[in-house]
């Protein structure tokens, strides 16, 4: 019996395949789930499936398939049980005139099960091709083909199911064991019922010249498993000899008639043989098939699309580097609306250089040779009181040198606003300059930054010069 | 109070603070622009492993009124050095609601909460004394600090900057977020680990985590490429046909569907790769895979993403010879190596003829009066190499792309001539390609060998 949440069954396998088609989760969710559990590997996959199966809104494939499988199994199972039962009755039919041939019974109760078990073992260990070949020996194979044409079987699209040929083989073998078991059970019940309700005389008869001693040897070998604890179920040589039957006309052998009370003793051997070879051995093989099926199912689960990813996500730590806080997105204008003037005037009342040193200003002046009445540096290492003194004395047309690559900060804007507020200042031209190695010429992208910032001041007195 | 290391990336506006954060946080969604004030609020970018924060980076707005702040501090701060941080706290407290010092408050807050300082400057521009006031303010905060020299432009003033920054910061490192790769990222973290003793262990852990994450991304990329190759090379399009013979219209429609499906497979693979490397929103320019374009399969272009005809003949011949050799081995050499020779010749000739083959259109099976038309798998021998070349190139460009980059991705680069696969590698690949062409399923070992080759080639491209 399967433990809940611990092992995969055919149903959970089909459910998982269907779930993975719809939902695989993401790394974070899957890892969080795995960390909250103590289980690992496929057990964890099973738990994950149970937790997420509600996400499949369509009818589960497993319900359809298992309904079909259960229906078929019940139908076949019941049929096979009846077939076994009636086969037993037929074989044990005794009119009182002719004894029941033990050899017939042995062929059906021991020979046939052993043959079918042999074929099953070959199927188990052969590849798909071999298995498919051996499966053709089973009447169930053909019955299933016929059943597939029935309307309820057509409701299932078998090509959509994820089974491989190998898994189908194991499912088939599983059912084969169940049906064979039911057949043997039918035989056994019919034997017990007949023994109880009728007085049957068993005998053995064969066209072949079989020596009773050799025959007894074979029977004793067959009875080895129960010889020690149930010796009366091992046919003695005497029993074998007295129950040797020759079909000569309608008459029974006189010796047989004399020992008629002993002939019924065969039933113990036949019951034990059926129980051991047709039932117990079948159960053992069935158990082996179940193990093989589970191993194959595990393999199939691992190759199911999405399972490897799931297992990897369970195992791999989830690493995140994202911010949980939303960004305040700034709408950036593509191009400035304020145009830049291309030329410097010949003469300015004042020249101020923002964030330059006195030495740098001298070099600039040497390069640009602008006629100015006063020349000062603002910002940089200056204190605010120093800046204020310089701003206070500005008047007329003022030229502002700024570093083009340094974007205008609010510190500059505050200072510029102070200058623009002065009535004595008639015009302010801001000239962003490049580095000395660039020959003080500025880049278009830098000028755009300055234009976009300064146009926000919306002041007619202000102009940007691009040299 | 959280005791994991925090780092505030601060500096003058437009010096690449957000680019550095984007690069370190592997996040290409951060707004980056040359307009001052693009970053308006501080944002934390925690590196979390299974929900546990290992360290946190803060992107901050740039200094706007540094001189005014410093003037305020000096005015209120006639105190000993150990008390200066309290003056800075007082400043932030008093100006929290003020719009005037909004940016300064935003950038100082994480530092006052214990974050280490990462001061960013553009070392491709000359040093300016106006920076000193910013550095003074940061010094008043008394937190462990380092400076990053970012080279935005072409010039190099690192020497001047290093001399100046060395007086204020414990460490000065160069880091260009636009070009920095995984190794540079980890080197920078190594530097950050040195800032404070208690931070060494968590940052070392972060380095391990990021290294594992990088390996994970490589593995996921390789798996994605392999899955894609197997899917495309074994893809068969089937459709029912009405009559006994396939009509031209049916044949064309099936071929068109086949082509479209292959192209769709490729774009799906691209999305998967970009998702792995967190570059999903990158705009890219890549020529669509055109199965009918003669140019794609011409000798000239094949040498860019696929193989030339000569290379194909060698590859085909070697793969054929290997198959023949297997036969020789089975007969314990009784075939006098004829298997290898015949296999080689057949393979080589097959490759020559296969060069111009595209895909086969077959009419298959007759089940209850219905006929089926199948297109594929692609028979052209060069096709797998074209696919693989395009895929590896795209994946390597994406993997190497910094999260600080905001330009479009140009994949129409025909200068991709790196030969990442030698003849023996191609031989191994060809065995798998041949199997897929035949519609055979790959064995587990074959698939892992194929994956190994793709991984090695990918790593060569990343190197």
Q: What's the 3-state SS for chain B?
A: CCCCCEEEEEECCCCCHHHHHHHHCCCCCCCCCCCCCCCCCCEEEEEEECCEEEEEEEECCCCCCHHHHHHHHHHHCCCCHHHHHHHHHHHHHHHCCCCCCHHHHHHHHHHHCCCEEEEEEECCCCCCCCHHHHHHHHHHHCCCEEEEEECCCCCCCHHHHHHHHCCCCCEEEECCCCCCCHHHHHHHHHHHHCCCHHHHHHHHHHHHHHHHHHHHHHHHHHHHHHHHHHHHHCCCEEEEECCCCCCHHHHHHHHHHHHHHHHHHHHHHHHHHHHHCCCCCCCEECCCCCCCCHHHHCHHHHHHHCCCHHHHHHHHHHHHHHHHHHHHHHCCCCCCCHHHHHHHHHHHHHHHHHCCCCEEEEEEEEECCEEEEEEEEECCCCHHHHHHHHHHHHHHHHHHCCCCCCCCEECCCCCCCCCCCCHHHHHHHHHHHHHHHHCCCCCHHHHHHHHHHHHHHHHHHHC
Which domains are delineated in chain A? 10-314 (no CATH), 340-465 (3.40.50)
* Residue to substitute from B130, B155, B205, interface A, most A β-carbons within 10 A: B130
Same domain, B187 and B250: no
Is B232 inside any structural domain? yes
Residue of B259, B237, B235, B274 whose CA lies nearest to B391: B274
A467: Cβ–Cβ under 8 A, 6 or more apart, which residues?
A342, A343, A344, A368, A431, A433, A440, A441, A442
Question: What one-character DSSP code corresponds to residue A438?
Answer: G
Indicate the length of chain A as a whole number.
467
Across the interface, of B34, B130, B210, the residue whose CB is closest to A380 is B130
Indicate the length of chain B as a whole number.
463
Q: How far is B354 from chain A (nearest CA, A)?
A: 33
Query: Residues B151-201: pLDDT tens digits?
Result: 998 899 999 999 999 999 989 999 999 999 999 999 999 999 999 999 999
With H, G, I as helix, E, B as strand and everything else as coil, classify residue A453.
helix
Question: Quick one: closest CA in A to B219, which residue?
Answer: A312
A377, containing H or E segment: strand A371-378
Is B18 inside any structural domain? yes
Q: Which residues of B3-26 are buried (b: 16+ CB within 10 A; e: fewer)?
A: ebbbbbbbbbbbbbbbbbbbbbbb
Pairing of strands A396-403, A347-354: parallel
Same domain, B225 and B89: no
Is B205 inside any structural domain? no
Same domain, B106 and B229: no
Instruction: Label residue A274 left, alpha or beta by phi (over 0 means left) and psi (-120 to 50 means alpha).
Output: alpha
Same domain, B378 and B434: yes
Partner-chain contact B46 A320, CB within 8 Å: yes
Question: Quick one: closest CA in A to B155, which residue?
Answer: A437
Is B200 inside any structural domain? no
- At A248 the pLDDT is 55
Same domain, B57 and B162: yes
- At B413 the pLDDT is 56
* Residue to substitute from A323, A326, A415, A432, interface B, most B β-carbons within 10 A: A323
Sign of the four-CA dihedral A285, A288, A293, A296 = negative
Same domain, B282 and B159: no
Question: Quick one: closest CA in B to A411, which residue?
Answer: B65
Q: How far is A456 from chain B (nearest CA, A)?
A: 13
Return the number of CB contacts < 8 Å for A and B.
127
Partner-chain contact B130 A379, CB within 8 Å: yes
Question: What one-character DSSP code corresponds to residue A433?
Answer: E
Across the interface, of B31, B41, B129, the residue whose CB is closest to A381 is B129
Q: Which residues of A178-193 are buried (b: 16+ CB within 10 A; e: fewer)?
A: bbbbbbbbbbbbbbee
Q: How far is B147 from chain A (nearest CA, A)?
A: 18
Q: Quick check: A283 and A178 in contact, CB under 8 A?
A: no
Last residue of a domain, one of B195, B226, B252: B195
Token pair of B403, please? 């999260």
Same domain, B191 and B218: no
Residue of A280, A245, A242 whose CA lies nearest to A263: A242
Q: A357 at the B interface (CB within 8 A)?
A: yes
Instruction: Tally Cβ neighbours within 10 Å of residue A386.
Output: 15
Q: Quick check: A282 and A177 in contact, CB under 8 A?
A: yes
Same domain, B181 and B260: no
Largest CA distance in chain A: 156
A402, containing H or E segment: strand A396-403
* Residue to substitute from A149, A166, A307, A321, interface B, most B β-carbons within 10 A: A321
Q: A432 at the B interface (CB within 8 A)?
A: no
- At A260 the pLDDT is 61
CATH at B112: 3.40.50.300
Partner-chain contact B44 A317, CB within 8 Å: no
* Count of domains observed in chain B: 2
Q: Quick check: A106 and A215 in contact, CB under 8 A?
A: no
Q: How far is B351 from chain A (nearest CA, A)?
A: 33
Q: How far is A325 from chain B (nearest CA, A)?
A: 6
Is B80 inside any structural domain? yes
Sheet containing B359-367, strands listed edge to edge, beginning at the edge strand earlier in sequence: B237-241, B370-378, B359-367
What is the ipTM metric for this complex? 0.76
Residue of B198, B190, B138 whose CA lies nearest to B4: B198
Phi and psi angles of residue B43, each rounded to the nearest 5 degrees, phi first: -135, 130
- At A65 the pLDDT is 81
Partner-chain contact B50 A324, CB within 8 Å: no
- Beta partners for residue B46, in sequence order: B56
Question: Quick one: closest CA in A to B133, which residue?
Answer: A381
Token pair of B157, please? 């003033």
Is B203 inside any structural domain? no
Is B317 inside any structural domain? yes
A424: Cβ–Cβ under 8 A, 6 or more apart, which residues?
A394, A395, A396
Is B405 inside any structural domain? yes
Token pair of A173, please? 């073998």
Q: How far is A35 from chain B (nearest CA, A)?
A: 8
Chain A contacts of B155, Cβ < 8 Å?
435, 437
Same domain, B114 and B221: no
Last residue of a domain, one of B126, B160, B195: B195
Same domain, B118 and B258: no
Q: How does pLDDT run along chain A (467 residues), one tens digit per residue?
A: 344 445 788 888 989 999 998 999 999 999 999 999 988 888 999 999 999 999 988 888 888 888 888 888 888 899 989 999 998 888 888 666 677 888 888 888 889 889 888 888 887 877 655 656 666 666 666 666 666 666 666 666 665 677 777 787 788 888 889 989 999 999 999 989 988 887 777 888 777 777 888 888 888 999 999 988 888 888 888 888 877 776 655 555 666 666 666 666 788 888 999 999 999 999 999 999 999 999 988 888 888 888 988 998 999 889 888 887 776 665 666 677 777 777 778 788 999 999 999 999 998 888 888 888 889 999 988 888 899 999 999 989 999 999 999 989 999 999 999 999 999 999 999 999 999 888 888 888 888 889 888 888 888 888 888 87
Same domain, B179 and B269: no
Domain that holds residue B182: 6-195
Q: pTM, whole model, 2 decimals?
A: 0.75
Pairing of strands B116-122, B52-59: unpaired
């Amino acid at each position: 019996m399967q433990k809940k949440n611990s092992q995969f069954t055919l149903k959970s396998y089909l459910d998982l395949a269907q779930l993975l088609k719809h939902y695989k989760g993401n790394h974070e969710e899957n890892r969080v789930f795995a960390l909250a559990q103590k289980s690992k590997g496929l057990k964890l996959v099973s738990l994950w499936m149970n937790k997420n199966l509600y996400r499949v809104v369509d009818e589960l494939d497993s319900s359809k398939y298992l309904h079909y499988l259960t229906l078929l199994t019940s139908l076949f199972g019941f049929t096979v049980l009846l077939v076994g039962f009636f086969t037993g009755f037929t074989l044990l039919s005794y009119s009182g005139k002719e004894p029941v041939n033990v050899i017939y019974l042995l062929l059906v109760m021991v020979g046939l099960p052993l043959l079918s078990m042999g074929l099953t073992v070959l199927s188990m260990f052969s590849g798909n091709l071999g298995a498919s070949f051996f499966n053709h020996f089973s009447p169930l194979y053909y019955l299933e083909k016929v059943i597939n044409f029935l309307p309820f079987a057509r409701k299932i699209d078998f090509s959509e199911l994820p089974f491989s040929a190998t898994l189908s083989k194991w499912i088939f073998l599983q059912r084969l064991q169940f049906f064979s078991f039911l057949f043997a059970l039918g035989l056994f019940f019919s034997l017990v019922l007949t023994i109880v309700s009728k007085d049957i005389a068993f005998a053995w008869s064969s066209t072949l010249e079989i020596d009773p001693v050799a025959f007894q040897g074979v029977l004793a070998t067959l009875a080895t498993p129960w010889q020690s604890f149930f010796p009366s179920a091992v046919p003695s040589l005497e029993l074998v000899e007295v129950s040797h039957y020759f079909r000569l006309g309608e008459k029974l052998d006189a010796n047989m008639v004399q020992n008629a009370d002993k002939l019924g003793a065969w039933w113990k051997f036949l019951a034990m043989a059926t129980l051991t070879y047709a039932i117990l051995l079948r159960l053992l093989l069935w158990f082996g098939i179940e193990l093989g099926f589970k191993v194959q199912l595990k393999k199939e689960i691992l190759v199911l699309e999405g399972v490897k990813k799931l297992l990897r996500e369970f195992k791999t730590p989830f690493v995140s580097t994202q911010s949980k806080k939303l960004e305040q997105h700034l709408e950036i204008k593509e191009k400035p609306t304020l145009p830049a003037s291309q030329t410097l005037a010949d003469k300015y009342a004042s020249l101020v250089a923002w964030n330059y040193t006195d030495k740098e200003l001298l070099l600039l002046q040497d390069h640009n040779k602008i006629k100015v009445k006063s020349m000062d540096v603002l910002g940089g290492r200056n204190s605010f009181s120093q800046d204020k003194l310089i701003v206070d004395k500005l008047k007329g047309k003022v030229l502002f040198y700024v570093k083009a690559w340094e974007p205008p900060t609010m510190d500059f804007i505050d200072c510029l606003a102070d200058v623009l507020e002065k009535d004595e200042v008639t015009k302010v031209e801001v000239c962003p300059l490049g580095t000395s190695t660039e020959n003080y010429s500025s880049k278009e992208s830098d000028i755009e930054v300055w234009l976009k910032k300064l146009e926000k001041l919306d002041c007619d007195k202000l102009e940007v010069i691009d040299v | 109070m959280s005791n994991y290391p925090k780092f505030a990336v601060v500096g003058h506006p437009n010096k690449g603070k957000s680019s550095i954060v984007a690069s370190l946080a592997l996040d290409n969604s951060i707004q980056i622009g040359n307009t001052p004030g693009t970053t308006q609020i501080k944002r934390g970018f925690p590196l979390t492993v299974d929900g546990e924060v290992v360290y946190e980076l803060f992107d901050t707005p740039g200094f706007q009124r540094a001189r005014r702040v410093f003037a305020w501090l000096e005015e209120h701060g006639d105190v000993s050095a150990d008390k200066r941080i309290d003056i800075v706290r007082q400043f932030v407290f008093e100006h929290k609601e003020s719009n005037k010092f909004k940016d300064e408050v935003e950038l100082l807050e994480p530092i006052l909460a214990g974050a280490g300082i990462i001061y960013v400057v553009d070392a491709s521009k000359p040093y300016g004394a106006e920076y000193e006031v910013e550095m003074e303010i940061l010094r008043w905060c008394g937190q462990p600090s380092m400076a990053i020299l970012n080279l935005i432009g072409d010039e190099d003033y690192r020497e001047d900057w290093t001399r100046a920054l060395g007086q204020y910061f414990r460490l000065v490192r160069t880091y260009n977020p636009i070009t920095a790769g995984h190794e540079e990222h980890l080197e920078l973290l190594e530097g950050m680990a040195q800032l404070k003793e208690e931070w060494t262990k968590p940052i070392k852990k972060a380095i391990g985590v990021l290294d594992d994450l990088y390996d994970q991304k490589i593995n996921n990329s390789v798996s994605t490429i392999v899955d894609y190759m197997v899917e495309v090379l074994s893809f068969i399009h089937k459709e029912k046909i009405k009559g006994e013979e396939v009509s031209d219209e049916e044949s064309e429609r099936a071929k068109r569907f086949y082509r479209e499906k292959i192209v769709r497979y490729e774009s799906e693979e691209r999305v998967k790769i970009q998702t792995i490397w967190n570059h999903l929103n990158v705009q890219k320019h890549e020529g669509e895979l055109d199965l009918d374009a003669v140019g794609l399969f011409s000798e000239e272009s094949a040498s860019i993403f696929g193989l030339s005809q000569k290379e194909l003949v060698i590859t085909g011949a070697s793969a054929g010879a290997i198959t023949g050799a297997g036969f020789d081995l089975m007969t314990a050499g009784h075939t006098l190596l004829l298997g290898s020779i015949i296999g080689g010749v057949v393979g080589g000739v097959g490759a020559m003829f296969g060069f111009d083959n595209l895909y086969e259109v077959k009419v298959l099976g007759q089940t209850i009066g219905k006929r089926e038309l199948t297109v594929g798998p692609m028979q052209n021998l060069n096709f797998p190499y074209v696919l693989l070349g395009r895929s590896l190139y795209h994946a390597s460009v994406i993997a190497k792309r910094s999260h600080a980059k905001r330009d479009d991705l140009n994949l129409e680069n025909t200068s991709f001539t790196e030969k990442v696969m030698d003849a023996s590698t191609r031989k191994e690949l060809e065995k798998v390609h041949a199997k897929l062409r035949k519609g055979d399923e790959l064995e587990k070992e074959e698939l892992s060998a194929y994956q190994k080759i793709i991984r090695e080639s990918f790593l060569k491209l990343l190197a």
